[in-house]
């Protein structure tokens, strides 16, 4: 079973920041938080991952709470092309597989 909880769906206005929450209250010390997204009819796309510290790349920012029980993915200026299902995943260092939940369907509205 997935170890994360995400809202089923969210809306965001184009040009605004999209903030996608994820709860992972049972995360252990050696588990990383990964975010992927899947645009309709395509394979999933890696976005970002982190362990303890906040992370930022050209696509998004990942904010992890100090107790590591939750995180937020931030898309700073959402565009219509960001409409997708976003998956939050925790992955143990020694494990090779990703265990996916149902994700959050993010709809960007003009």
Partner 1 sequence: DAGVTQSPTHLIKTRGQQVTLRCSPKSGHDTVSWYQQALGQGPQFIFQYYEEEERQRGNFPDRFSGHQFPNYSSELNVNALLLGDSALYLCASSLLVGGGQANEKLFFGSGTQLSVL
* Cβ contacts of 68 within 8 Å, gap of 6 or more: 24, 27, 33, 52
Q: 83: helix, coil or strand? A: coil
Cα–Cα distance measured from residue 43 to residue 4, given in angstroms and rounded to the nearest whole number: 21
Cα–Cα distance measured from residue 1 to residue 81, given in angstroms and rounded to the nearest whole number: 30
44 scored as a contact of partner 1 (CB under 8 A):
yes
Asked whether the beta carbons of 73 and 12 are under 8 A apart, the reply is: no
Out of 1, 8, 43, 58, name the contact with partner 1 by CB under 8 A.
43
List the structure tokens of 77: 């200026």
Cα–Cα distance measured from residue 65 to residue 71, given in angstroms and rounded to the nearest whole number: 6
96 scored as a contact of partner 1 (CB under 8 A):
yes
Q: How far is the CB of 16 from partner 1 (least distance, A)?
A: 26
11 scored as a contact of partner 1 (CB under 8 A):
no
Residue with smaller CB distance to partner 1, 7 or 110: 7
74 scored as a contact of partner 1 (CB under 8 A):
no
100 scored as a contact of partner 1 (CB under 8 A):
yes
Out of 103, 104, 106, 108, name the contact with partner 1 by CB under 8 A.
103
Total residues contacting partner 1 by CB under 8 A comes to: 27
Residue ranges in 16-35 that form contacts with partner 1 under rule CB under 8 A? 30, 32, 34
């Amino acid at each position: 079973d997935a170890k994360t909880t995400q809202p089923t769906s969210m809306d965001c206005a184009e040009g605004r920041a999209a903030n996608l929450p994820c709860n992972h209250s049972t995360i252990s010390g050696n588990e990383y938080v990964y975010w992927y997204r899947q645009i309709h009819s395509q394979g999933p796309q890696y976005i970002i991952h982190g362990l303890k510290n906040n992370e930022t790349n050209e696509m998004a920012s990942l904010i992890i709470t100090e107790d590591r029980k939750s995180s937020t993915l931030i898309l700073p200026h959402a565009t219509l092309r960001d409409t997708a299902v976003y998956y939050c995943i925790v992955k143990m260092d020694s494990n090779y597989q990703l265990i996916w939940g149902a994700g959050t369907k993010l709809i960007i509205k003009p």
